[in-house]
Amino acid sequence: MTTNTRSVAMAENRSIHLNLWWVLGGAILLALLAFLLLFRLGDYPAPWYDEGSHLHVAKNLAVNGIYADFSSEGLRYYGPAVGVGPTVMLPIAGLFRLTDVSIPLARLVIVAYAFLAIMTLAALGSRITDIRLGIVAAVLLVLTPGAEFVFNARNVLGEVPGLFFVVAGFWLWFKSGKLSLIRLVGVGTLMGLACITKNQYALIVLPSLLLMWIADLVRYRQRGWRYFVIPGVVAGVIFFAWTYVVLIALGGGEFSENLTTLREASAGAFFLFGVDEMEKAGRFLTDNGVYGAILIPALLYGAFLSLRRTEASQRWGMLTIFMLVSTGLFVSSLAWPRYAFPAVAVGSLFVARLLYDLSNGFQFNIGSLIKREQPPLVTVSMIAAIGLLLTMIVLPVYLHVSAVRGQGSGDVYTFADYLDQNVPQDALIETWEQELAVLTDHNYHYPPQIVLAYSVDETWRDGQPASELYDFRDAVDAAYVVVGPFGKYTELYPEAYLEDYEIVFSQGSYDLYQFAG
């Protein structure tokens, strides 16, 4: 009896000791995340086109009370105004209104979402397995290069906020037992907020909810209709209500005309099913930079875990459906790595579960491995799990820290200061550097949103050069032209178009041309 009591006490002590180590690991993760997300927040990454275009809307809302993009000719209700939703724009506009228009301040909103997303992901992992899996999944998501979590979390983009709402929705949904009506409405609300945060999530979430219901009807038979229909209806109502606001209440005019404009502005991104693009997507998903090239095996393992007709298996089945839809959407797209973010992010749970089972719940007993006390198969799986974890954690930490410390640039701030001091605010400036209109109040003319679709087609599908379809000299009589990183990357302003202009100032990759007549 005494021996049994002593054994139980020793087991409890080991459990407490192990839990303390995992708590310490979680604290270290949060500290590392704080450094990676906050150090040199204004300079890395250098402010750029996508971020600047979204911040036009937040600035316009804060200063003028209008939810729209803007250019010298007037308001633009599509493009950036729908690229990232009100869950991002409203808090940023609120901060701008309370303080001042600032890119680092706007980025703090996304950083806050990033912390919430990581903590909620860890909580979701804990709910479907245990806290060890949750912490490992969070670590893998932060560090795997293919997810670009740190980069996305330091930019005013919709990927990270949308992920938070999706993961929070799953966390609430996966509570054991029967869910109340309020909780189911809460699940639908969170999923709906993900859909309006970035419309890519709507293309994933809404079909996934339908397929999850079908899977329950055909296979699992664990839940009633309300478990799926209520969240699906709520999410759909939120998404389509916001779509109505965008197409009618904000844009004015006829619904069909506005819908056509919106389609043209966003054309050529998804549902392409091009052979070259599908090959690129496949190479990306199986690259070493995406969880050491084990994302697909981990997804297959998750599908295997979903085969039984139990509550736990159905959870993995629901996550597998989300993964299949999000991966399928990426494969059908331009294969731009950012389009893979939802799949890669949620995939961290699958990779963590595969490693969890290979390592007996991340209980690495090095002593028993050295002494060969475990069966050969267990020993091999343990060594494989340890090697994969080290590969996916150690080198990426170095790469992320190096990027945060040494990459990026503050050139745009210096350039904006020069414009404020030397260029009249009413002078018309042609440019495709969207971030400048966030930093100064000059009269900028930006190429129409459709030009971005031309540029995407040129860059990704060898289409007609965008510069042949847009000549700024036909659109405006610009006193100045700014050709910066995005203008140079897209080659929208060839030398022939600038022959009547001369460079008067340069800062980094930003060049200011003045009309010389």
Residue pLDDT, tens place only, 442-470: 999 999 988 988 998 888 888 899 999 99
Section 244-249 average pLDDT: 79
Coil, helix or strand for 514? Answer: strand
Name the percent of the chain lying above pLDDT 70. 88
Tokens found for residue 479: 């006193």
What does residue 433 show for φ and ψ, rounded to 5 degrees? -95, 90
Task: Give residue-wise pLDDT tens across range 68-107.
Answer: 888 999 888 776 767 799 999 999 999 999 999 999 999 9
CB–CB of 173/159 below 8 Å?
no
- Between residues 246 and 111, which one has the greater pLDDT? 111
The reply to whether 483 and 400 lie within a common domain is no
Name the percent of the chain lying above pLDDT 90. 70
Final residue of a domain: which of 406, 439, 466? 406
Final residue of a domain: which of 383, 406, 429? 406
The answer on pLDDT for 191 being more than 90 is yes
Q: Quick one: pLDDT at residue 9?
A: 45
Q: Quick one: pLDDT at residue 388?
A: 76
Least confident of 116-130, 362-376, 490-504: 362-376
CA dist list (Å): 429 to 84, 426, 432, 480, 510: 26, 9, 10, 5, 13
CA dist list (Å): 26 to 13, 32, 103, 392, 512: 20, 10, 30, 17, 48
Section 367-381 average pLDDT: 61
Q: Which domain holds residue 444?
A: 411-515
Section 496-514 average pLDDT: 97
- Between residues 395 and 171, which one has the greater pLDDT? 171
Coil, helix or strand for 378? Answer: helix
Final residue of a domain: which of 379, 406, 433? 406
The reply to whether 418 and 367 lie within a common domain is no
The reply to whether 396 and 456 lie within a common domain is no
Section 151-169 average pLDDT: 97
Q: Which residue has the tokens 């340890």?
A: 386
Number of domains in the chain: 2
Query: Does the CA dihedral 423-420-77-264 come out positive or negative?
Result: positive
How many whole angstroms from its chain centre is CA 309? 33
What does residue 430 show for φ and ψ, rounded to 5 degrees? -90, 130
CB–CB of 121/134 below 8 Å?
yes
CA dist list (Å): 430 to 216, 454, 491: 55, 18, 14
Q: Quick one: pLDDT at residue 19?
A: 67
The reply to whether 395 and 416 lie within a common domain is no
Going by C-alpha positions, the residue among 301, 416, 381, 384 that lies closest to residue 349 is: 301
The reply to whether 399 and 415 lie within a common domain is no
Section 130-136 average pLDDT: 92
Task: Give residue-wise pLDDT tens across range 384-408.
Answer: 777 777 778 888 998 999 999 999 9
Q: Quick one: pLDDT at residue 373?
A: 56
The reply to whether 294 and 422 lie within a common domain is no
The reply to whether 279 and 337 lie within a common domain is yes
The reply to whether 134 and 202 lie within a common domain is yes
Q: Quick one: pLDDT at residue 326?
A: 98
The reply to whether 47 and 86 lie within a common domain is yes
The reply to whether 104 and 71 lie within a common domain is yes
Q: Is the peptide bond before 80 cis (omega within 30 degrees of 0)?
A: no
The reply to whether 143 and 12 lie within a common domain is yes
> Per-residue confidence at 12, pLDDT binned at 50, 70, 90?
very low
- Between residues 76 and 139, which one has the greater pLDDT? 139
CA dist list (Å): 335 to 23, 331, 468: 38, 6, 25
Task: Give residue-wise pLDDT tens across range 259-273.
Answer: 666 665 555 577 777
Angle between helices 311-331 and 341-358 (to 10 degrees): 140
Please, what is the average pLDDT of the chain?
89
> Per-residue confidence at 14, pLDDT binned at 50, 70, 90?
very low
> Per-residue confidence at 8, pLDDT binned at 50, 70, 90?
very low
- CB count in 10 Å sphere of residue 462: 8
Least confident of 10-14, 191-195, 223-227, 289-293: 10-14
The answer on pLDDT for 252 being more than 50 is yes
Going by C-alpha positions, the residue among 348, 346, 378, 350 that lies closest to residue 363 is: 378
Coil, helix or strand for 430? Answer: strand
The reply to whether 290 and 423 lie within a common domain is no
